Structure 1
């Protein structure tokens, strides 16, 4: 049985990919090609599916090509070629977990967690359904088993055309902890079932605040706070993949709360500009359930200027002197 060894460094700055050739592979030189999924801007419901293999790209994933939120998972695929069926190989995935002490891609997870349409077999001859999966273990620096310092969401490595035989432990080539620029790595061993198997996984984009899938690192400590293109993947001296920070969004929110003095059943009407829905609404400030005293707009990703105008009501005056409130996003 022939054994090949690959080093794959993925996600965020100084990424590497190299292999040590062995004596016997399939016809031609062994090769590997790394792609990442550009999910569209605006978001595409068919991104990276079987009919849109061009969405799996080698170049930079920037704002013009992709829309990822903090807490999303960016799909990657590694296409191998000219491997000898039955041969054993080792792949080490390495990712830089922090840049200047700020969290970027904090852990690995399943390739289609966010982009559910993603098909790693798209455009790959002979590739069909997955042949092997393996659970991604918790990184003890991210989740020690008690969700400390944060909760790490579950996920799997997926191979198409190969069988995963072992997933190793994490190691930290730049030292433990998250200060400065740090990285983590993990090694997979697999047996090729075809000459051109595909490995798929995703990198989780670190978020500020916890959701149901993962914990948050706190305001100012997550991926959206890193400028430039910090998410790099490369083949040594040959290929580089990057995700621009401008493609990573932390959604905004606006909440209007009506506080009437005294509390009263009077209804107060509002109109908005800027494209929010609903464009008009009414609030009151009493205890009955007919109307709320609060209108919230969540998940805002079209950053700009929004205005809210309260309609005049006889017998009532505004404490702040003007019926118009203007909110402008910083970016």
Structure 2
């Protein structure tokens, strides 16, 4: 990468590429899974299972976050959370992240270090850490995260294992992020609990591996909305997923915000994304792990999603290339 021209002392251009790397590397913990941390051409992470679960996501300023809405710490936590949630949705234990940062040269240094602190704090919730990455110059802030996990001897829980007769269950919040986005989009900052839910998701990390141990037949991270992600499971498994809306929790903050906006809170619950709840199926009669609540069932038929017995249309959720 070409040398970045020197800039203000409080901007990343003033530090340069390697100075910026040095400013953030020390903020990341060294965990037992890290055999060799940052400082060489690559890190070395233990893989006792002999298999590594890997996933990655991008966050682009103006598309996934706004710096006038979210702090750097918020963005760091969100970037980590959406990747860690994908790992636990496979039944894996997260171990390490690799992070790429693209930023303009006038980005404040404390924004970059705040991002690193957010990544570190979210990783600490699951015992993982950041082991390396890259920084480049770009016109807007872009955060790319690759996450690694360990199956600990278990089979991965995929989207394709649901079978007729299985129980459909969910762990975590639904609709809170979408409601928070609606609040922010109208220029408000309260209810604060909804705004915070949009800026920093709260995936039920422990529920993923617990579901795998309990014999979950399929599982997915609800990142794009309950209906859309249920549709992914239905398609992959070749089954019908039936959702009973009477079982879905509509928290009081959602109800209050919906009343203020003349909206239907159930739409946020069914179609809102970025909560990173876990949707899973379990064999009939199986005890659901802590945190999971039954919301329906799996039946035979052409792959589809039913809501209160009616085929769901326009599954909603987020699609980056849908107008």
Q: Same fold (TM over 0.5)?
A: no
Name the structure with the higher helix share: 2
Larger-gyration structure (1/2): 1
Whichever structure has more strand as a proportion of its residues is 1
TM-score (normalised: structure 2): 0.24
